[in-house]
Amino acid sequence: MTSRERFLAACRCMPTDRRPVWLMRQAGRYLPEYRALKQKHSFVEMVKTPALAAEVTLQPLRRFALDAAILFSDILVVPEALGQPYHFREEGGIAMDYALDSPEKINRLDGKNAAERLAYQADALRLVRKEMGDEKALLGFAGSPWTLAAYMVEGGSPAEQPKVAKLAKSNPALFDALMQKLARAVAECLNQQIAAGADAVQIFDSWAAMCPNENYSAWSLRWIREVIAALPPKTPVILFAKGMAQHAPALTATGAAVLSLDTSVDVAAFRKSYGTIATQGNLDPELLNGEPALVRETTKKLLEQISGPGHIVNLGHGVTPQAKIECVAALVDTVVETPCT
Ligand code: CP3
C-alpha cells in the first residue's frame, strides 16, 4: 500500500495496513531549513513564488516518513486575491491592510477570477507532485468562509467579541453578500488546487468557536456546504471545525469525508458515538516540545484506543515553533511502526 493509497483509504473509512500520518502547519518555524529560507525571503514572497513554496512543502518530507504533504500557503491568500492584503504583526497575529468596516468595502471586493490570482498555488502543487512522485498524498487547503470573514471584518486576528458576529446579526443581507463572494472564491481556489493534483483538501474553520452555537449552521456550515458541493465528489474534504465536535452530525452533513478533531475531544469516545465518520487528529501540539519517550508512549496510547478503519494521525492543531525535531520523528516513527490489527 503506498502512502497515497493509505491516506485516501482512511479518508473513505476503508481498512489500511497502518494509520496514515501527517502534520498540520508542519512547515512552520521549528525546521532550521525553513528558518534559513525565511532569512532570505518574506513569508508572502515564499507563498507566492512556486519554486519556494514547493521547496517548503517538501522540507518536512525529507526528514520524516509522513504519508502526505500539505501545500505551503496560507488561508489569507483568498482575502488578498479579493483585494484585501494581509501581513504579520511584529508582536504576533495577523493584520489585514484594512478592515471591512463599511458596505462599500465589502461591495468593492473583487470576486471575479479570484482563482487566476491564486495560480501560484497550482504552479507550486504541480512542482511538488513532479518532485515527490505519486507515492505520497498531496493536500490542498483553504479557510472556511466564516473564518476568513472573521479576519476580514475585524481587520486582523479576531477579538473575543468578533465584529463578524455583529455584522451577521445587524446586517444579514450584507453578511450574506460577503459570504457568497467568499464561498465562491474558496470553491474556485480549491477546485484549482484539485485540478493541479491535490488528492484531498482541508477546510480550516479555525474560528468556528467564535460563532454563537445557535448560529453555527446558518453562519458557517451553510457556506462550507456550498463550497463542498462545488468540488468534485470523489475528492475527500477534511473539515477542521475547531471547538465544534459537538456538532458532528451537522459537520458531516456538509459533505466532508473526514472530521479533524482538536485536542479537547476524546477521539475513541467520539468514534464510538459517530460510527462511520472518518477522523483526524488529535495529539496535543505541546507534546512535541517535551521528551521523545513521552511522545512515543502517548502516540501508542492513541493508536491503541482507536478501533475500526478511517483515522488519520495528526495533531489537534498546528506544529508550534518550539517543537523539537526528535519529538516529531518519535511521533511519525511510532505510527509507521505500528500495524493496524
Ligand atoms: O504545513 C504547512 O506549512 C501548511 C501551510 C499552512 C500555513 N498556514 C503556513 C503558515 C496552513 C495549512 C496554514 C493555515 C492557517 N493560516 C490557518 C488555519 C490553521 C490554524 O492554525 O488554525 C490560519 C488561522 C492561518 C492564519 C495564520 N497564518 C496565522 C494565525 C499565522 C501565525 C501568525 C503569528 O502570529 O505568527 C500564520 C502564519 C503562518 N502560516 C506560518 C506558516 C508556516 C508561520 C509564518 C512564519 O513566521 O514563518
Mean pLDDT estimate for the chain? 96
Cell representation of residue 224: 462550507
Q: Residue 139 sits in which domain range?
A: 3-337
Does residue 239 register a pLDDT over 90? yes
Distance (angstroms) between ligand 1 centre and the Cα of 47 equals: 11
Query: What's the rounded mean pLDDT across residues 326-333?
Result: 98
Nearest CA to ligand 1 atom 12: 25
Query: What's the rounded mean pLDDT across residues 266-279?
Result: 93
Ligand 1 in reach of 25 Cβ (< 6 A): yes
Vertex 237 angle, CA 109 and 62, to 5°: 100
Segment among 3-7, 56-60, 102-106, 160-164 with least mean pLDDT: 160-164
The pLDDT of residue 90 is: 84
Grid coordinates 496514515 are at which residue? 20
- The CATH code of the domain that includes 130 is 3.20.20.210
Report which of 37, 25, 61, 52 is spatially closest to residue 121, judged by C-alpha positions.
52
Through-space distance between the first and last CA atoms of the chain, rounded to whole angstroms: 16
Distance (angstroms) between ligand 1 centre and the Cα of 74 equals: 6
Does residue 213 register a pLDDT over 90? yes
Percent of the chain with pLDDT over 70: 100
Q: What is the pTM of this model?
A: 0.97
Ligand 1 in reach of 94 Cβ (< 6 A): yes
Q: How many folded domains does the chain comprise?
A: 1
Percent of the chain with pLDDT over 90: 94
Segment among 62-71, 89-98, 168-177, 238-247 with least mean pLDDT: 89-98
Ligand 1 in reach of 75 Cβ (< 6 A): yes
The pLDDT of residue 26 is: 78
* DSSP label of 221: I
Are the CB atoms for 260 and 240 separated by under 8 Å? yes
